């Protein structure tokens, strides 16, 4: 094992997503089978949470993962984020049945001010941050704005679950393998206003739009199914998605760290003004990644329907942003 270990901080490490995530990071699924990792795990100081974290750590030890070069338990972000190269900000309250994700802003928003400040103070200057905790885009915006000494581009929000959900629905509709799908995009907020867009997508080189050839299905089945999938899972399980969320977090970080080989993926990233999205809005865009740097796929034609969908999700994000001014 010749590579130097990298530091991976995970918050909410004793929660449901944490439990589905940590073992996969430690086994090398996120950063590669040749990359040792040191896990820096953060939970709230509460005795029950810290005890649960101890149990998770015992299980991680019992896996004897060859790539796991160290495990730390923390209750303070200032120590948990020390020198961290990757930070997965999961810890926060999930919604229950009947709630919208934006309703979590008043409960969860403040967590991301404190954690953004701690990252600003002690993390690696190249830290790659993924916010999973909901409402993910606006929490990522809060963390980014609370960390003025770190590059804004280091902060991202998770739209990958929506991207994967969209791919899976398309595969089911067309009867083609999900692995063949390319050039899919999900624009905007991780909320029911998101715009999953398969106009440019292909499966094994064939146009998805032409294969489906059913605009009614797009508008009345596909978009609502993808947009409301989180709520459907809460209604069915009584708990919010966890394994699929952890899987999406792994996909997001792996692709950001190791590259996409020209393939489009969706990441929530601070806008640089592309497609008329105001600067710094944390927006889902189609990107490609090379050498650890993501790049927005530019020059896509935005038709009238798409423009209206993008405006709707942007307006919601601007409203959320406006609602957290007091935290910044
Ligand atoms: P959970 O309640 O099972 O676990 C959350 C954990 O976070 C708990 O152990 C809690 O003690 C801890 N925590 C709370 N505040 C913390 C803080 N300030 N610092 C460190 N840890 C803290 O919840 P979960 O199911 O794991 O979901 C976590 C979050 O992820 C929720 O906000 C949920 O809505 C969100 N989520 C997002 C997506 C997405 O696609 N972006 C998908 C699924 C879930
Ligand atoms: C999801 O999309 O499954 C998560 O964001 C959880 C939720 O509240 O929907």
The rounded distance, in Å, linking the Cα atoms of 166 and 81 is: 33
Judge whether 15 is annotated as a binding position: yes
Tell me the catalytic residues: 190
- Ligand 1 atom showing the smallest separation from residue 52 Cα: 9
- Output the ligand 1 site: residues, CB below 6 A: 11-12, 14-18, 42-44, 49, 90-95, 111, 132-134, 136, 158, 161, 190, 240-242, 245
Residue 1 pLDDT more than 70? no
Q: In the CATH scheme, what is the homologous superfamily, with its name and number, of domain 6-157?
A: NAD(P)-binding Rossmann-like Domain (3.40.50.720)
Domain with CATH 3.40.50.720 in the chain: 6-157
**What is the arithmetic mean of pLDDT over 13-41?**
98
Q: 159-327 adopts what CATH topology?
A: L-2-Hydroxyisocaproate Dehydrogenase; Chain A, domain 2 (3.90.110)
Judge whether 123 is annotated as a binding position: no
**What is the arithmetic mean of pLDDT over 217-221?**
98
CA-nearest residue for atom 7, ligand 2, is 230
Decide if 287 contacts 265 (C-beta within 8 A).
yes
The rounded distance, in Å, linking the Cα atoms of 73 and 92 is: 17
Structure tokens at 78: 């200032």
Q: Would you call 321 helix, strand, or coil by DSSP?
A: helix
The pLDDT-based confidence of 41 (bands split at 50, 70, 90) is very high
CA-nearest residue for atom 4, ligand 1, is 15
Residue 2 pLDDT more than 80? no
Judge whether 206 is annotated as a binding position: no
Mutating to test ligand 1, I would choose from 73, 91, 232, 241 the residue with most ligand atoms within 8 A of its C-beta, which is: 91
Q: Is 230 in the pocket of ligand 2 (CB under 6 A)?
A: yes
Q: pLDDT tens-digit profile of 107-151? A: 898 999 999 999 999 999 999 999 999 999 999 999 999 999 999
What's the per-residue H, E or C state across 14-37?
CCHHHHHHHHHHHCCCCCCCCCCE
Ligand nearest to the CA of 92: 1
Domain with CATH 3.90.110.10 in the chain: 159-327
**Averaged pLDDT of the chain:** 97
- Ligand 1 atom showing the smallest separation from residue 77 Cα: 19
Judge whether 218 is annotated as a binding position: no
Q: pLDDT tens-digit profile of 276-311? A: 999 999 999 999 999 999 999 999 999 999 999 999
Do strands 86-89 and 6-11 pair parallel, antiparallel, or not at all (unpaired)?
A: parallel
């Amino acid at each position: 094992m010749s590579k130097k270990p990298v530091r991976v901080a995970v918050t909410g490490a004793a929660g449901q997503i944490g439990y589905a995530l940590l073992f996969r990071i430690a086994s090398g699924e996120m950063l590669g089978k040749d990359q040792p990792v040191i896990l820096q795990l953060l939970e709230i100081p509460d005795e029950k949470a810290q005890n649960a974290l101890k149990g998770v750590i015992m299980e991680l030890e019992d896996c004897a993962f060859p790539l796991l070069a160290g495990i730390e338990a923390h209750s303070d972000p200032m120590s948990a984020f020390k020198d961290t190269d990757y930070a997965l900000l999961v810890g926060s309250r999930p919604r229950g049945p009947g709630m919208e994700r934006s309703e979590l802003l008043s409960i969860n928003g403040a967590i991301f001010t404190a954690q953004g400040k701690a990252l600003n103070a002690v993390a690696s200057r190249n830290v790659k941050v993924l916010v999973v905790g909901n409402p993910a885009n606006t929490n990522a915006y809060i963390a980014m704005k609370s960390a003025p000494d770190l590059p804004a581009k280091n902060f991202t929000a998770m739209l990958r679950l929506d991207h994967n959900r969209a791919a899976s629905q398309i595969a089911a509709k067309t009867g083609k393998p999900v692995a063949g799908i390319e050039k899919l995009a999900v624009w905007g907020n991780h909320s029911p206003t998101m715009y999953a867009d398969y106009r440019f997508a292909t499966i094994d080189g064939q146009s998805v739009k032409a294969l489906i050839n059913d605009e009614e299905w797009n508008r009345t089945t596909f978009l609502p199914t993808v947009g409301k999938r989180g709520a459907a899972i809460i209604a069915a399980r009584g708990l919010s998605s966890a394994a699929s969320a952890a899987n999406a977090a792994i996909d997001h970080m792996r692709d950001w760290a190791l590259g996409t080989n020209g393939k489009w993926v969706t990441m929530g990233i601070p806008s640089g003004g592309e497609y008329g999205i105001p600067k710094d809005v944390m927006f889902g865009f189609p990107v490609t990644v090379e050498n650890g740097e993501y790049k927005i796929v530019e020059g896509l034609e935005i038709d009238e329907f798409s423009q209206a969908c993008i405006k709707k999700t942007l307006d919601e994000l601007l409203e959320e942003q406006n609602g957290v001014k007091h935290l910044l």
